[in-house]
Structure 1
């Protein structure tokens, strides 16, 4: 009984020990992701790999093994000097207690920031009669349409979205496709609607917006270059002449956060059933 209980406690202790180390390692990777430190991490793995392969038990490359060992011994001092800002940021987060916490920005906050960016950009372009075609992915994947454009993969901001549609720039002609809180691609081709009841006064952008709304559940915003009016399409319906208040309501009524994997903070937008 005692021996069995002792072995069980040992297994639990080992499991907790490994879990803590893996969690800390994961948080460190998330902290340095997207920074120059991630390239350093790759270099460290290369050095460790060469040192291991050159060891006496494998290739027995004594000179290479000795050089790699010196790099490992003195390299950590160089890492502390070169990456002092990243280390300081990690220690600051640890002191604030945010190192072990999830992302503080909720899905609702991210959605509101995205809506504000879209509305500000549309109002700016509408006042200056800059044509725009903005498609927001919901549940139906739009990978086929993203592939027709130029990859952006940037965070959605008012400035970036507006700059894409500035006339006589390489990306202004075509649609911007937004997924979650980022701009996936620009200058994308959308299918044109063949609905014979669409008003003849509407141009290619409106027909493309109607076309994509007929084959997907995407929400598409059009800024008219001729009139400066803002329109929106969904489920094959066209809502014309939207002011700022109506546009905000349209976006909020049809977009909402949907948590896919809370541990990773991933989410997407889906339309409300009554929308």
Structure 2
């Protein structure tokens, strides 16, 4: 249809159509952000690029293989990622359209920082070993499934009780997800780096391991020395005192909250412009 024949209703219809497609894509990205599907999307992009280059360069066999991978890949995705797809649909079913206010987010963050700091100080003084991993952008659902689900409000008392020796949940990691203690007694991947000091135990290796494959912030309390450490992005920050620990925790969690608020503000601006 020529543009000259467009009516105002046609223009409005196209604008709403574009907005709805954009909104659906945005929500899908938000849903799969906490699953392995993010890595899958990267793999699909690689296949598409290889398919295009192989066709351009005349690599017919490689081009055919990539074509088959794209053709039958949709069926494989449904089979392999069935648990993630189910969780995504459940999240859509009970999701909220509007985010909470910034003030409420800040209050919740202060509560989390206070609870973690208080519990870590308590356990460090008594040399109670602990491993606490805080999910950020990269999803940790696969690791949460290895533990005992709790879905509990974060409190210093609960964190301390979880790591009391010889209790059912003390062995393993606590994973905090979306301002809740998602699970305890979780298994984290051990780092295979040859540069790790031999004096570090399994907790430190697990904390480094999870920081190498996700952007999580992981806290370790050593039961041998009572020292407190934090891992992030494959780096280990050891022997932190209370002030440095709190400052680092506030800095990292504040950065995560600002990133989420920025994405939410972009969504709200998009709604206003298209509304």
Match of 2:237 among 239, 248, 271: 239
Distance in 2 separating the partners of 1:255 and 1:105: 15
Query: Residue 126 of structure 2 aligns with which residue?
Result: 128
Alignment of 1:1-275 (within 5 A): 106-256=104-254, 257=257, 258-259=260-261
SS in 2 for 1:117: helix
SS in 1 for 2:231: strand
Query: Deviation of residue 142 (structure 1)?
Result: 0.3
SS in 2 for 1:255: helix
- TM value normalised by structure 1: 0.56
Query: Residues 75-108 of structure 1: CA distance to partner in whole angstroms, max 9, x if unpaired?
Result: xxxxxxxxxxxxxxxxxxxxxxxxxxx7796211
Specify the structure having the higher radius of gyration (Cα): 1
Distance in 2 separating the partners of 1:149 and 1:261: 31
Query: Deviation of residue 250 (structure 1)?
Result: 1.0
Unaligned ranges ≥5, structure 2: 1-99, 266-275
Unaligned ranges ≥5, structure 1: 1-101, 263-275
SS in 2 for 1:226: coil
Query: Residue 11 of structure 1 aligns with which residue?
Result: none
Distance in 2 separating the partners of 1:232 and 1:248: 11
Q: 1:130 to 1:160 in 2, by over 3 A?
A: same
Query: Deviation of residue 143 (structure 1)?
Result: 0.2
Distance in 1 separating the partners of 2:179 and 2:112: 6
Distance in 2 separating the partners of 1:182 and 1:157: 9
SS in 2 for 1:178: strand
Distance in 2 separating the partners of 1:219 and 1:254: 8
User: What is the RMSD of the two structures over their aligned residues, measured on CA atoms?
Assistant: 1.6
Distance in 2 separating the partners of 1:172 and 1:193: 21
Query: Deviation of residue 180 (structure 1)?
Result: 2.6
Distance in 2 separating the partners of 1:185 and 1:226: 25
Distance in 2 separating the partners of 1:207 and 1:158: 24
Query: Deviation of residue 252 (structure 1)?
Result: 1.3
Query: Residue 22 of structure 2 aligns with which residue?
Result: none
Distance in 2 separating the partners of 1:136 and 1:144: 14
